[in-house]
A and B are shown apart, each in its own frame.
Chain A
Amino acid sequence: MLHKGQEIKHEPCSLISQDQLKAYAEASGDPNPIHLDEEVAKKHGLPGVIAHGMLSMAFLTSRAQAIGRDLGAGWKWDTVQTRFKNMTFLGDQISVGGSVRDVTDAEITVDLQCKNQRGEITTTGVVRFKPV
């Protein structure tokens, strides 16, 4: 069982590659060219191709899924709220970790963050579990 203030250590996810962004664009149905086309991204004032925010959210929720599995069958997912605070670029290595904000009989709240290899927080997320 989790306890309030418990640290959730940062663990690395896959390295952001062009192949992954292409596969993610296809699988998610997101046609935004700033995730695939360097020229379009630069034309629109970005330093280069950026990763989909939802890919970071997928990394973050994968970690939350593992936490949920550890909690057992008595708890279910309720909500996930994420903020995309900084851009993620090709070649970035994202890791996910965080801490347990609160544990009560009615709710478990976990704060998770995606960080890049420079230590910058790119995405923050709040995951809430409720009893079944």
Chain B
Amino acid sequence: MSVYTDLLGQASSEFKDQVSRQKIEAFLKAIGHGGSNSEVPLIAPPTFATTCRKGEFELFTKLGIPLARVLHAEQEYHYKTEIREGDELRYQTKLGHCAEKKAPSGALTFLRFDTPVRIVREGVEQVAVESRTTIVVRG
């Protein structure tokens, strides 16, 4: 049991973001892949779906969890199709699981957030990536 058990299934707002060439290029540069890119349309790198964590951050606020106490523990991506320049991203995050573990430093709470990231391309909406983010809240 965790203080968050009653909150399982809590959902964030629905978010929308436009994937521009500039956003992908900035992301590529930040992960050490600078340089020119002639690819058209530009394909986002595999971890680009991490830009879709606004729902998770909203839920931290809702659950009263200070961000500075949060560490990323695990991340899973299940890929359906690639994200690319020109796509619209749509996503909503839900609290999918919670557990508590005792550690020498005190109680640790593990929370898993589930975020299916959908894309809208030429009017067609489909899931691009299923994201599962497990974070640990340090006591």
Contact size range, A: 35 or more
Does A103 touch B at the CB level, under 8 Å?
A: no
Interface on B for A, CB 8 Å cutoff? 23, 26-27, 29-33, 45-47, 50-51, 53-54, 57, 67-79, 105, 138
State how many angstroms separate the Cβ of A16 from the closest Cβ of chain B.
10
Q: Is the CB of A54 within 8 A of B72?
A: yes
Residues in A lying within 8 Å of B, measured CB to CB:
13-14, 20, 23-24, 26-34, 40-41, 43-45, 52-55, 57-59, 61-62, 64-65, 76-84
**Contact (Cβ within 8 A) A20 B78:** no
A41 to B15 Cα, complex, angstroms: 29
Out of B57, B75, B78, name the residue touching A57 (CB < 8 Å). Answer: B75
> Are B31's CB and A33's CB within 8 A?
no
CB of B44 to closest CB in A, whole Å: 11
Contact B32 A80 (CB under 8 A): no
Structural contact, B75 and A53, CB atoms closer than 8 A:
yes
User: In whole Å, how far is A103's beta carbon from the nearest beta carbon of chain B?
Assistant: 19
Question: Could you list some 10 contacts between A and B, CB below 8 A?
Answer: A23-B26, A23-B30, A27-B29, A33-B67, A54-B75, A58-B45, A61-B45, A65-B46, A83-B73, A83-B74
Complex-state Cα separation, A32 to B138, whole angstroms: 14
